[in-house]
Each structure stands twice: as C-alpha cells, then as structure tokens.
A and B are shown apart, each in its own frame.
Chain A
Amino acid sequence: MADVNPVESLRAAFSDAVQDVQEFRGEITFIIDRDHIVDVCRYCRDTKGLEYNFLSDVAGVDYFPQEPRFAVSYHLYSMIHNRALRLKVLLPGEEPEIPSVIGLFPSANWSEREIYDMFGITFTGHPDLRRLLMPEDWDGHPLRKDYPLGYETVQFSFNFDEVDKYKPYARE
C-alpha cells in the first residue's frame, strides 16, 4: 500500500473536483474546486497510502488583474511516506470565500487568519476570524496587488480639502 500514486488516486476519487494537475520542478500541484477543498484534504489525510498528516503552510496569492483573482495554496506533507503535495484553490475577486480546514488541521488556524487579514479572503467555519498582524481597525488588505506599497497623495489646490482630512497632523 505504500506507493499509492497521489495523482491517480485523487483523480479517481474526485473526478469533478480536480480541475487541473501541474508539475513543476518535481512538485505536484492540484487545482481543486473551492467547494470540495475540505473533502479533498480529508481524503489526503485519511486514505491509506496517502496519509498527508502534516499541513505545513497555507498561503494566499493575488493574481490581479487576472480572473479568478485569488488563490489559496495548501502545502501538505506526509511524514509516513515522506512526500509533499500542493493543493491550490482559485477564488473570484468579488467576495472571495472558502471553507476553513481548521477542523482537519488545527495548524491552519493562524495561517487562515493571516490570509483573511492580508487578502480579505473569508474562511467560512473558522471559529475566530479576526485580523492577525494588522491593527483591528485597519482599512484594506495590504498584500492585495492594488494596495499601494507606500507613498502619500500629493495635495494640490483642487483636492486640498479632500486630502487634508487624512493628513496625520495634530488637530484640536
């Protein structure tokens, strides 16, 4: 049972959920349909011969201006078979939402909160979805590609009052 091929196994079990399989530099990436991500994770974790028991990392990517705009990558690893796997879910730019895998892998807890904070992707079913790194009253999601790296809006006469409202000097 030790050498179950993850590609064949996942394709057979989830013919409608696996949208694509890519291989690059020896790393296999499955593009998974959003609604099936929890089932696929459970299958990867519990199936004999796969047993991806360790979720290393969850990371968000913003492909702006492409559509589907967002991606969430899950890096699974099997300590038993010493193999790694990447599951990737593509999400639309408008109100991105994805089921949380925290019930299967508690290690996703803070990673999902970080993605919520940085990309504004909502993880449904996450028990404590608050901002993690940024202050709780922060506007915007910094790792989105349309979020500027820095800079200050230049104040001209035509937009003086508008910009002045946001200027950080002390007021009465």
Chain B
Amino acid sequence: MTGSDDNLWQGDVEKLKGLVSERALTGETMVLNMGPQHPSTHGVLRLLLELDGETVVTCVPDIGYLHTGIEKNMESKRYEQSIVMTDRMDYLSPMGNNLVYCLAMEKLIDLDVPPRAQVIRVLLSELTRINSHLVWLGTHALDIGAMSVFLYCFRERERLLDIFEMVSGQRMMSTYFRPGGVWRDVPAEFEPAVRDFINYFPPRVDDYEKLLTNNPLWLDRTQGIGFISADDAIRYGCSGPTLRGSGVNWDIRKALPYSGYENFDFDVPLGQHGDVYDRYLIRIEEMRQSLRIVEQALDKLPDGPVRSNNRKYVPPPRSELGQSMEAVIHHFKLWTEGFRPPVGEVYQRIESPRGELGCYLVSDGEPKPWRVHFRTPSFIHLSVLPLMSKDHLIADLVGIIGSVDIVLGDCDR
C-alpha cells in the first residue's frame, strides 16, 4: 500500500453504529463494501458487509443508485403520457409494468377492455414472463459459475424480442398496452411466430434442466442456501416465486384474477424448502406453465376490436377523423388536454415475473395523476436480503441475490 494512511478512510465510524455489530467497531470483524458497480449484484446495488472470515455477519443494502424519480415525473404528465415511463422501471418485464398501470387507470375510470385485447394482454404478459425468467436463469447461473446456460437463454430470448418487435415496433420498451386495450392489433405473422416458439421452446427448457437440475455442483451451491420460512416470507412481504418457494400458495393470477386469467388453465408450482434451489425449480416450471397459457390464449384468440370504443377516454382511429366532426373533437381533446378521471384512489396488483407489482393511483379529477406509487417486488425482496444472507458465505450471497431476482430499475424507480 502506498501513500499516507491518513487518506484511506474518509467515512465516519459514528454512522456505522447500529448498522453493524459491536465487533466490527473493535476491528474483530471486517467491514467490506460490495458494489455498486459489481457484475453479480444485477445492476447498481451496493452492499455493506460485515464479515467474520468469509461468513456474512451483517448485510446492509444501500439502494438509490438507479433512482430516476419516475413517480415524481408522472405527476407532471397526463395519464397516457406516463405509460412510456413504466416500461423503464422493470426493463425485463415492460409489458407487465404497462399492464399494471393500464389496469389501475381502467379501474379508476371504469373503462371496458374488449375480449380480444384482454387475451392479447395475457398472451404477451406470459411471453414477457418467459423472457424475464430467461434473463434471470442466464444471469443467476452465470453468477454461480455455469457459463453456458447464459448463452442458451439469451438465444431463446432473442426470438421473444423479435415477437415483441413484431407487435409493438420495439424490442424492449414496447409501450404496447394502452388504457382500454392495446395500441393496435397484432400483425398476421404474429400467430405463426408464436406457434413456432411454442414448438421450439419446451425442449430448450429440458436442456437447461439437463445442465443444472441434477448437476452436483449446482445442488451444492443452491440447496439449503438463502432459506426463508413461510411465516417470515409472509411477514416480510415476499411474493411471487420467492414466496412460493417457501410453500405458500399465493399467485395473484389465481387469487385476484385480472385480464381474464380465470379463463386459463395452469398450475402454480410450489416449493418446500424455501431455499435458492426451490426458487430455481419454481421459475423453471413457471416457464412451462406460461407456455401453456400462451398456447391456450392463441387457440381462443377472439376476433373483434382491440381497443375500447369509449371516446371520452380512448382516441378515435385515424379512419374516423375524415368523416366525423365528433371524432375530430375527441381526438383534439384527448391529445391536448387528456381525459379527466373521477376523484378517487385505486390500488391494482398483478403477478409480475418477480412477484406482486402494485400501482396506487390517486386522482383529484385533473388530467394529470395526483400521485402514482408503484409497489415493486424487487424493492420489498431486497429489504429481506439481510435476513436471507445471515451466516452464509460471501460466495453464497451472490447466489441469494440472484435467486430473489431483483432488477434495480424496478427497485429504485
């Protein structure tokens, strides 16, 4: 080490009191900074670790490095203008974010959604779930040391991104769902592309399982790691695969169905041990179940309009503008002033790939929302990390972070 020792430590020991144990203040244990630019923290997450040898004594997550002020920004934009920002929160599940915001708006203004749009929404939400789980699987396996899985996962993901581009024009930030339906109908080549994917994908999932599920190295690194009991999972607000890994049967698609999920037949996989391995098994099975939903949705895709006809909230199609004065007025009103929902507040929750994604919308009757708040699964799950990682090795910490599947954009908003 070069230079004067006086310059090495610039922090304040007083600030560490209460965060780390007394042993750290005497120098018996080591305080180590991990992140924010660390590849296996899945974004810009900083962890303050207190280590006894290689064992984690305390873990203090520090977030906010990806805070973009989306909630504040939305207050100054009209309802429909803000949909583009929801894509950018959880960038692995843009359609899920669109969906929760649109559902909240529709609940607030009591807007109908045509059956065809509902089924398209379910179909694309499930493809988004597969897309998100593929990125999770690839990066999670990469963290633990299985390099090849990452390449296979991203190969399959590419096909999904092509489908998203086909319907919305964008690979990731699709902004495809709008209040009252979807932006436009799916193109003719959509159905063959999804059929192709349905046939192509199941053998690929089997391949991932061949690489990992019975792999002794994978088992050693995941079984018994990051345990959380069912009671603790509920008390600490876990949801999605993290909650179901502990054996709690709660899936919002089943418990509080939205967008017509009650018409689809699918199973909710449950774990028993509440560890990293069970959460892995659940997500693998969820990909298969999502594909079942996609197949059913494609089979029963009804004909009809894809957006509501309520002209007070939904702009008229271009074709009407040349013939109807009424349509021109609505078009002008909606794109200059926006719509005015009734005064009130709603909370809408959906099952995002990571867990419960909630949108709390407060309206004061003006064209701009008074307050938008997103309850994001990554945010809550990250606050449970100290509990899950206690007394584990620092190498396992990386696996635990991967297993709760956090996205820092989703966490910081």
Contact = CB atoms under 8 A, between A and B. Distances in A.
Contact of B256 (A75, A82, A132): A82
B375 A149 contact: no
A142 B380 CA distance: 21
Contacts of A142: 69, 72
B346 A27 contact: yes
Given A134-B67, A142-B69, A24 B379 contact: no
A133 B360 contact: no
Contacts of B380: 107, 110-111
A132 B250 CA distance: 29
A53 B64 CA distance: 29
Interface string A25-45: 101010000000000000000
Interface in B1-50: 18-19
Contact of A133 (B248, B383, B412): B412
B263 interface: no
B73 A86 contact: no
A52 to B, nearest CB: 11
Contacts of A106: 235-237
Given A82-B255, A149-B73, A75 B236 contact: no
Given A27-B346, A82-B255, A57 B358 contact: yes
B268 interface: no
A17 interface: no
B358 A75 contact: yes
Nearest to B256: A82
Interface residues of A, number: 34
A109 B371 CA distance: 21
Interface in B335-367: 344-347, 349, 356, 358, 360, 362
Given A79-B234, A79-B248, A25 B110 contact: yes
Interface residues of B, number: 39
B292 interface: no
Given A59-B360, A107-B235, A142-B72, A128 B18 contact: yes
Contacts of B152: none
Nearest to A54: B234
B248 A25 contact: no
A25 B108 contact: yes
A59 B370 contact: no
Contacts of A59: 360, 371, 373, 375
B63 A56 contact: no
A95 to B, nearest CB: 21
Most chain A CB within 10 A, of B73, B110, B346, is at B346
Interface in B47-79: 63-64, 67, 69, 71-73, 76
A135 interface: yes
B81 to A, nearest CB: 14
Interface of A: 24-25, 27, 29, 53-57, 59-62, 73, 75, 79, 82, 84, 86, 105-107, 109-111, 127-128, 132-135, 142-143, 149
29 contacts: A24-B344, A24-B345, A24-B346, A25-B107, A25-B344, A27-B345, A57-B347, A57-B358, A57-B360, A57-B373, A57-B375, A60-B373, A61-B362, A73-B360, A79-B234, A79-B250, A82-B255, A86-B345, A106-B235, A107-B236, A107-B237, A110-B383, A128-B19, A133-B63, A133-B64, A133-B412, A142-B72, A143-B71, A149-B76
